[in-house]
Amino acid sequence: MQPGEFVAWKNSTRGKKAVGPGLYCFDQLAELVSGTVPGLVLSVDKATGVITSVVPDHCKFQFSSGLASLLGLPTGWLATGAHTGASSINMWPRALHLYLDQLSCSHNVVDGTPSTLLNIVHCPSTQFGCSYSVEFHSPHFKRLQSGTIGELNIRVTDGHRAIDNHACPIALVLEVR
């Protein structure tokens, strides 16, 4: 999400609520929208990524043009009834931050601070459900914590919070030498 995105409504009252930048989770957006206008439902088909919004009786609802574009919905006011997106949602972040919890923080520093950041992977804008591969041709050697390690824990974030990939897997392959 970019700064300035919003949702607005008209029923017995009028209102407008900002949607903050960095929101990449559809479930959080649906919760924010349904909490704003009682009876408003926003759902996504997990197989196709297409949005359906149901606007309650005697109500109109509007997404900012940038937010409507991300959701595949038309711009302008949505009247009472069901509305289906014309395309799949595109709420994927521009980069994935990969953290390996077993990295040695004393040997891995990011912006002057010890970190378990393994790498940042820049993401192309893709359609819902599409996959792509990123291969690093130059190896990145990082020191692990000393002692015995039984398993590796990898966290994938947008730099601030964990990624919601709509129950689809994110596959990572690490080579340990």
Q: Is 141 helix (H, G, I), strand (E, B) or coil?
A: coil
pLDDT digits (tens, 9 = 90+) for 103-112: 877 777 788 8
The pLDDT of residue 77 is 92
- Higher confidence at residue 146 or residue 53? 53
Give the gyration radius of the chain's Cα atoms: 20
Q: How many CB atoms lie within 10 A of CB 106?
A: 10
The pLDDT of residue 88 is 80
Counted domains in the chain: 2
Give residue for tokens 């957006």.
Answer: 29
Distance CA 55, CA 75 (A): 15
Overall average pLDDT of the 2-24 stretch: 78
Overall average pLDDT of the 92-102 stretch: 80
Mean pLDDT of the chain: 79
pLDDT at residue 24 tops 70: no
58 and 139 in a single domain? The answer is no
144 and 175 in a single domain? The answer is yes
155 and 102 in a single domain? The answer is yes
Query: What does each C-alpha distance from 135 to 28, 102, 122, 126, 138 come to in angstroms?
Result: 31, 22, 12, 17, 9
The pLDDT of residue 128 is 60
At residue 34, φ and ψ (nearest 5 deg) are -70, -30
The verdict on residue 1 lying in a domain is no
125 and 80 in a single domain? The answer is no
Share above pLDDT 90 across residues of the chain, in percent, rounded to a whole number: 8
The verdict on residue 117 lying in a domain is yes
Q: What is the DSSP string of 46-91?
A: TTT-EEEEEEPTT-EEEE-HHHHHHHTPPSEEE-SEEEEEEEE---
Maximum mean pLDDT: which of 91-100, 135-144, 168-177: 91-100
Q: Which domain holds residue 152?
A: 92-177
